[in-house]
Structure formats: C-alpha cells, structure tokens
Structure 1
Amino acid sequence: MPKRLQECSIVPASPHFMDMIISVGTCPHILQLLLSRGHDVVTTVRSEEKAKIIRDAHPGAKLTVVIVPDISLPGAFDEVMQIPGLEYVQHTASPFHFKFTDPKELLDPAIKGTTSVLEAIKKYAPTVKRVVITSSFAAILNASQLGDATKVWSEADWNPMTYEDGINGNPGQTYRASKTLAEKAAWDFVEKEKPNFDLVTINPPFVFGPVVHHLASLADINTSNGNMAALIGGRWKAEIPPTGVYLWVDVRDVAKAHVEAQDRPEAGGNRFFVTAGLFTNKEIVPIVRKSFPQLAERLPEDGTQGGDYPGGSKDNVYKYDNSKTTKMLGIEWTTLEKSVTDTIGSLLAVGAK
C-alpha cells in the first residue's frame, strides 16, 4: 500500500495565553487512526527519544519513524520526501512558542515551515496526491467581530491579519497571524505552483479530548486540556475563569477529519471548520462533578461566579456553521459530556493532581 507521511514535530504550547486557539495533541490520534485503517505510515519526530516511544507504542505496525530535528530549517523535509511510494502527506506540525523576543521568531518558521514542506513534495515526491494541513480557527476569526452575536463563523471566513499585524501585536495576536499567514501561504503555493497534489486544511478551535498516554506528560498538555488540569487541581474553586473562545471540538473528531479529508476524493481543495459547537467553562464543572465525585472538594460550588456566556445566555455570543464538515467528512460530533469525561480520566491516569 502507498505510504502516508504524517509530519508531526510539534512544540508544546504555553498554558498562559487563554485567548489562543491551540490544537496540539492531535498527532498521536491521527497516527492511531491511520494505522488502524491499515495505512503504511511514515511519521516524523524531533528526537530519537520520541521516535523510540512511538515505535514501542506500535509494535508490528506498518510504521517508519524519521527524525527531523528542526522543521523550520531550509530543506528540512528534502530527505524524508524522497522515501518511495508516498501518496498523502499530513502536515500537522506548527513551530510555535512564546519565548521569542522578536515576533519574526514565530512568524517566519510557521510560514516557511509550511512552504518548505510543499516545496519538498513538489520537488521530490511526485506520487503525492493530497496534502492535509492542520490550520486553526485562528485563521478564520476576525477579532473585531468576536463580540458580534449575529456573526456566524464558517470556513468561508478569513482572519484579515497581516504580517505587520503579527509583528506589532501581543503574543496572542502574533500566534494568530502566524497560523493565518501559514495557511494562506499554502493556498497561494498551490495556486501559483500548480503541483500534482491538491490541498485540504483543517481549522479547529479549542481542542479537548483524552491524552494518548504513551506520548503524555503534564508539561506537554495543550492549552485546552491545561484548563481542565487546572479545574481538577482546585484552581477554579474560587472563581471559574473566562471561557475565551466559546467554540470547541474533541481531538478524536479532529483526527477523523484529517483522515477522512485524506481518503475522500471530494474533499480536495477545501477548508474544513472542525467544531462541535459552543461551550463555556461553567458547563464543564457539573460534568466533572457527576463523573468524578471523588474530586468534589476541588471543584467550584454551585453558584461560583465566572466562566459563563455574556449575560448568561449563548444568544449573546457568535454562532457557527459546521455543516460542510459534517456532511462532506461524515463527522458525528462527540458530545461535550463524553469529551470532558474522557479528558479528565486521561489526565488523572497520567498524574494530574
């Protein structure tokens, strides 16, 4: 069977910027799904240590692990793209962090990391039919409309941020610009270069869902799941924090979207807004109380302030349209209750306290 390349060298996100849209943690779920469907997979990681973890977790699988230490370097993907038989590429990596002193340290690697993958595919892998790229709701939203309750977000929307906005903004704005410009660079590449492959992008908001244990450490928990770790650690007890982005999705649905977008011919050339709908932090608390009564003393009591929709009603926040993704990719969205329960269970299993 032709090989699927999963490019998965992700740098963990900072847990301190709660207005961001982070989708880290999807890689192992995509890998599991690809292998379960019988695909022959080549996956990239940043170190031999991580390579061994993945090999040990999937004994006997049709799996090749290749080390790409720095995805932002010129020619980083040239060697791996010369592996014979590549048919599809899943580019899920995004080199982001918040230790930069110059915004270009975030913007340039995100943009160049994406275009270097596409350039290497065009040059060395003519058998590739499709590239699926993980983008973000950050590339859809317009910050000036986040307070507009009549706005309906879909994959037809584009974040209007420019490179200059990313240079001059705060770290969260720089991140959003990096995701927007990286995705635009991918679409521009396909339009101008007209390669043999077509393109699909996956745009999720906050991503919840269980941590895959063989790759998990509490230091690597993404922003969304970091919120839940804070909840069960008692840090929401006095006040529930603001929800920030009111849209969410389960990581397993994001993984399925990637694989379905790869395997369904009609998905080519599309963006997909991957979201299960609206939520608030306040709605998470009773789910955890019901499913994990042993955590009751750490949880906010009924009536604790914070974490709700403006004015206490979802009518006061923006709306969403995920119908294209639901229909074209055949996603049956995981419920918030199941996602929260499975997430908390997995965090407890890896030592969250």
Structure 2
Amino acid sequence: MPSISTNSLVVVTGITGYIASHVALTLLREGHRVRGTTRPTSIERANSDLKKAFTENGITSEILQERLEIVGLDGDDFYSEEAWTRVFDGADGVEHIAFPIQEIDASAVDKAVQNATNMLRAAKQTSTIKRFVYTSSAMATIIAPDYVDRTITVKDWNESAVNVIVNGASIDDYPALKKAGMLVTYAAAKVMAEKVCFEFMEKEKPSFELVTILPSTTLGPVLHGKPSMTPGLIYSTMQNDISWKDNILPQWTVDVRDVAKLHYLGLTREDMVGKRWFAASGPWGPNDIFAIIRKAFPGHTIPDNFEGGERDKQQYDNSGSTSLLGGKWIGLEQSVLDTIESLRARDLVKVEGRV
C-alpha cells in the first residue's frame, strides 16, 4: 500500500503530550490534517494551549482552523474498539503515541495489550487507513542497569522485564532490575503491546502497514504547559533540585524533534514498513546535563556531579535511524539548552544570560 500523501488526515493520540504535540506540529508543517485525541475535560484547554504553541512555531491561524481537530476520549474509550472506529473515521494514518496507563501497576500490561489490540481492530475496519505508527520504547529492548556486553539491536526484546512482570519470575533472579522499580512494569507493557502489534499484522493481514518507533530518554523544547517526563529533570535541575537522581537510570537520549521526524517518516517511507526503529542518538548521564548547563550559564547554581550520574555504557545499533535522518541527530547539548530556552520563554525558569 502506498504511503500517505500531502493533505492526509492523521490521528495523533494524546496530542497534548510532550512527544505527541511535536508530532502534530511536524505533520501540520508537512501539509497534513491532524485529528488529536485528549480527555473530554481537556478539549477546551488543549485547543487553546496547542493553537498558541503551534502559532508560536509558525503555523498560521488559518491552517489551524482548517487542519487541526481535537476530539475527546474518556478512560473507557481508550480500550474500546467501537470508540476508536469513530475516531479513525476517514483517517489515512495513525500515530499512536499516548500510553493509556495512569498507574504503572500489575494491570498495566493487560491494559496496554487491550488498548493496542482494539485500536488495531478499529484500524482494520477503517478502509482509508494506510499506516499505523506505534510508539514503543527503547526499554522494550533492554532497561538499565540490565547491561549486556554487546550491542543492542532492534531484534532484541526485553525478556527480563517480561519474565518478572508477566511470567512471575522473581526479581531476585534479575538483580540488575531492582533499581529500575516501576519502569520494569512499563518496559514489560511496552514489549507485550508492541509484540501484539506485529502478531496482529501477521495473523489478521490488514490493508494498512505497521511501523514502530522506540524512543530513548527524550529531551528538547517543551511546546506548552509545565514540563513533565524527562524535560522535567532539566526543569528541576534548574531549581537546584535533583531529588529525581535515584530514579534515573543510564540510558541513551534523543531530541524530541528527531523523535517527531521519525514518526512522520514512519507514515511516508516505504523502507520503514514492518520494522522497529530506534529513536536514540547517543548515551547520556545526568552529569553530562550538569556540565552543559554549567558551561552555558556559569552564574547559575547547578548541583554537583554524583556517583551513578555517568553516561550509559550500553551500546545500541541506531544505524538505520541515523540513515533515515540523513546521518545527523540533534545533539545532547542543543537539546538541553533548547529545553531551557523553551522554559525560560514562558517564565518557568529564571536564568541569567548565556555564554
């Protein structure tokens, strides 16, 4: 099936989210129409916040009026084939970015699988859909500090997390995972949901095509609202607060704009079909972030480096994604500084000048 063409309608789930808002912005810039989902109680605010953010990033009010639509889905709808069939009506592509789990508990895996399954069933019932891009996670391959002395590839699956969370193995048998806490459940949920996607394609043979994107720690400018997820680490650091340090594991990093570009390419490139793709540019550690901020803002108080804040030693083969991006990723320094600038522009952080 051909990839989507200009002026296609693309459903973006969880459109107010950090990554999803960037994906929507990229789609609008590329001439597509966007139907974003959010909670029904958030529609008015989402319309206001996103339109302001998109306008600030070069999208005219006329384009937004014509090309941006936001629809509400409540908690139960996220697991309903019927609800997703309504949302997908007339759509050409799907960017499923939202993770439909509010609490990372024992039910997270079942919920993630149920959500993915019913969305795929709904997509199969929608004859216009050509591509389904699913946002997985680099943790679906391995989760630090479960280090292996070889390069991780997209052929790897995080079987350690699955064995503990799904198969009932004792975490004592996987001591490296103990520090990961609830992220073990998150990783297992991502593994099982992503596998369901590929199994569905093999068994059901729908007319649409599947691409999965596996982002690592994502940094870069925040388009609206207060920072959450990983940009929140930079926000806290700028407040001289690193209470998060014991919950952060060595990983690779990626700029949110590169993640958005890979999601867009997943809709448009034939060579991505049926495959997994890392969104990961290189290793990082909290101490790297501290060094970048100290250099750029020498007058700002930044926490001291700490043991365990070194960069990840695990290697990933990101050569395929590197090629898709023309051999160039946005680097960690630019990601960190652009994150800070996006927060400073909205008076969320106070910082003097920049070297």
In structure 1, the residue matched to 2:13 is: 7
Number of equivalences: 317
Q: What corresponds to 2:128 in structure 1?
A: 127
Give 1:46's aligned residue: 39
In structure 2, the partner of 1:108 is 110
Question: Contact 2:161–2:187 at 8 Å: present in 1 too?
Answer: no
Structure 2 length-normalised TM:
0.81
1:232 is aligned to 2:238:
yes
Note if 1:266 corresponds to 2:271.
yes
What residue number does 1:117 align with?
119
Instruction: Summarize the Cα distance change of 1:142–1:242 in structure 2 as closer, same or farther, 3 Å threshold.
Output: closer
Where 1:42 maps in the other structure, the secondary structure is strand
**1:38 aligned partner, one-letter code:** G
- Structure 2 vs 1, CA of residues 96 and 292 (structure 1 numbering), >3 Å: closer, same or farther? farther
Distance 2:319 2:256 in 1: 18
TM-score when scaled to structure 1?
A: 0.82
String of CA shifts for 1:191-235, please: whole Å, max 9, x gaps.
Answer: 10000011000001111111102xx124xx11x222212211112
Equivalence for 2:303: 300
- Find the aligned partners of 1:318 and 1:77 in 2 and give their Cα distance: 38
Per the alignment, residue 195 of structure 1 pairs with 206
Q: Quick one: distance in 1 between partners of 2:86 and 2:20?
A: 21
Q: 2:249 aligns to what SS in structure 1?
A: coil
Deviation at 1:171, TM superposition (A): 2.5
8 Å CA contact 2:133–2:263 kept in 1: the answer is yes
Equivalent AA in structure 2 for residue 69 of structure 1: D
Matched, 1:92 2:97: yes
CA distance 1:164–1:76, change in 2 (3 Å): farther
In the alignment, is the contact (CA less than 8 A) between 1:242 and 1:306 conserved in 2?
A: no
1:1-353 matched pairs, under 5 angstroms: 1-8=7-14, 25-47=18-40, 48-53=43-48, 56-57=51-52, 59-60=61-62, 61=64, 62-70=67-75, 71-74=77-80, 75-82=82-89, 84=90, 86-98=91-103, 100=105, 103-104=106-107, 106-123=108-125, 125-141=126-142, 146-148=146-148, 150-161=149-160, 165-166=164-165, 168=168, 171-213=182-224, 216-218=225-227, 221-222=228-229, 224-236=230-242, 244-295=249-300, 298-301=301-304, 304-309=305-310, 317-330=313-326, 332-350=328-346, 351-352=348-349
Residue ranges of structure 1 left out of the alignment (5+ in a row): 11-23
Paired residue secondary structure (2:79)? coil
* Higher mean displacement: 276-285 or 343-352: 343-352
CA distance 1:330–1:217, change in 2 (3 Å): same
Cα distance, 1:217–1:319 mapped onto 2, change above 3 Å: same
2:34 maps to amino acid = V
1:53 is aligned with what amino acid? S
Q: Structure 1's 252 and 9: CA in aligned 2 closer, same or farther, altered over 3 A?
A: closer
Partners of 1:250 and 1:159 in 2: CA distance: 23
String of CA shifts for 1:132-151, please: whole Å, max 9, x gaps: 010001111166x8333x32
Shift of the 54–242 alpha-carbon distance from structure 1 to 2, 3 Å rule, reads closer
Deviation readout 1:242-299 (Å, 9 max, x if unpaired): 851331111111000000111112211111011010111111112112222342xx21
Q: Distance in 2 between matches of 1:349 and 1:54?
A: 15
Could you report, residue by residue, the CA deviation over 1:111-152 in whole angstroms, capped at 9, with x for unpaired residues?
1111111110111x1121111010001111166x8333x321
SS at match of 1:89: strand
Runs of at least 5 residues in structure 2 that lack an aligned partner in the other structure? 1-6, 55-60, 172-180, 351-355
Q: 1:245 to 1:306 in 2, by over 3 A?
A: same
Say which structure, 1 or 2, has more relative contact order (CA 8 Å, 6+ apart): 1
After TM superposition, the structure 1 stretch with the greater mean CA deviation from structure 2, 109-118 or 326-335, is: 326-335
C-alpha separation in 2, matches of 1:165 and 1:97 = 21
In 2, Cα distance between equivalents of 1:196 and 1:339: 38
Say if 1:49 and 1:109 are closer, same or farther in 2 by CA, change over 3 A: farther
Root-mean-square deviation (CA), in Å? 2.6
